[in-house]
Amino acid sequence: MTGEPINIADFERIAAEKLDAGVLGYFAGGACDEVTLGDNVAAWRRWRLRPRMLAGVEEVRTGVEVLGAEVSMPVLVAPVAYQRLVDTDGEVGMARAAAAAGTVMCLSTLATTRPGEVAAAAPDGRRWFQLYCFRDEGVTRALMDEAVGSGFEAIVVTVDAPRGGRRERDLRTGFSIPEGLGVPSVRAALGVDREVTIEETFALMDPTLSWRDLERLASECDLPVLVKGILTAEDAELAVQHGAAGVVVSNHGGRQLDCVLATADALPEVVDAVQGRATVLVDGGIRRGTDIAIALALGADAVLIGRPALWGLAAGGEEGARRVLELLRDELELTLTLCGCAAPDALSRAHVQRAPVASVYSG
Ligand SMILES: Cc1cc2nc3c(=O)[nH]c(=O)nc-3n(C[C@H](O)[C@H](O)[C@H](O)COP(=O)(O)O)c2cc1C
């Protein structure tokens, strides 16, 4: 590729050139036929913007409040496992990039760096911890305690992965996590002195987790608890009833159950069900500032990006991830300006409509 990357697709191409086939397949791939993986991106483009003219807007700001504190843009970094597969700094580089861009990084339970190290590397950054719940409550508690003790500000419980999805790209390439690249916080929480494989880790997770467990966790935790992996109004209502401070409309980037709704299609019903009682975030397929604006117009408080940040990290380490975040902020700022909106919260459902059917099918 020639020249500097000017959009997320360019970062993806550079990352694809750099990474070996197995690692690329692990990050890029989805479940089974990847119907949802593709639909996540396509679904934002089934909406069209309704911009307003002569709105008298001179200065546009992109900052918003999320869970009571400011971020420079309504774009947060989603939890993504094993970031040292693409860059030697891994999660540390990602945390520094998010801090430099003025936004939140959500650290995965399956991170290759412990919460304390991430906090020490980016002390000024805002951090949330993504939690997988284990059959052994002591392990879950130890993971949470480490995050709380390291200054993380929220716990994001992922509920769409009682088992790993069927990732056929990994089956074809024969990809497995290289020996020696472990998940140190899980290892510490288990109290073992050897690496635990991803298969072992998934086998130790609790597939029987229920709303009652979620409620107990939320009531015992000093931090706000968000539920990640919600796709229906029914579950959004249950999440609020059981004490969640927020929901993340997500299908795990199309990596878990294939053929579920794209997140852009699930978002409106979740927003309508929550009715402002909790924070609503969304991830999956966000690749442009216009995608972010559509999500906000549909009622999301902010979006998260998974692969785009990873492509930045793979292409240029911490600096690359920061540039991806800044690129999306710039695209959002331009979109807001051209929509006649002075700030993200000026966007409303009046700014979007479904794309005419003919344009959806002609691409
Ligand atoms: C390689 C990879 C690993 C992921 N690991 C996790 C994880 O450990 N925990 C989690 O809750 N979500 C995980 N996700 C899902 C992301 O948090 C997020 O929902 C998804 O990537 C959003 O879609 P996008 O990649 O299209 O932005 C992972 C996604 C990818 C691509």
CB 69 within 8 A of CB 127: no
Question: 363 vs 167, which has greater pLDDT?
Answer: 167
CB 80 near ligand 1, within 6 Å: yes
- Which atom of ligand 1 is closest in space to residue 106's alpha carbon? 17
- Which atom of ligand 1 is closest in space to residue 160's alpha carbon? 11
Sequence-separated (6 or more) residues with CB below 8 Å from residue 76: 66, 98, 103, 104, 105, 106, 128, 281, 302, 303, 304, 305
User: What pLDDT is stored for residue 357 in this prediction?
Assistant: 83
Q: Token pair of 143, please?
A: 């993971």
CB 25 near ligand 1, within 6 Å: no
Catalytic annotation, pick one of 84, 167, 228, 252: 252
Instruction: Respond yes or no: is residue 242 known to be catalytic.
Output: no
| DSSP conformational letter for 257 | S
Residue 260 has pLDDT above 70, yes or no: yes
DSSP H/E element including 183 = none
Nearest CA to ligand 1 atom 1: 27
Nearest CA to ligand 1 atom 31: 27
The two beta strands, 352-354 and 47-49, are antiparallel
54 CA to centre of ligand 1 in angstroms? 40
Residue 204 has pLDDT above 80, yes or no: yes
pTM for the full predicted model? 0.98
CB 284 near ligand 1, within 6 Å: yes
**Across all residues in the chain, what is the average pLDDT?**
97
CB 305 near ligand 1, within 6 Å: yes
pLDDT in tens, 94-139: 999 999 999 999 999 999 999 999 999 999 999 999 999 999 999 9
DSSP for 93-113, written as a single string: HHHHHHHHHT-EEEEPTT-SS
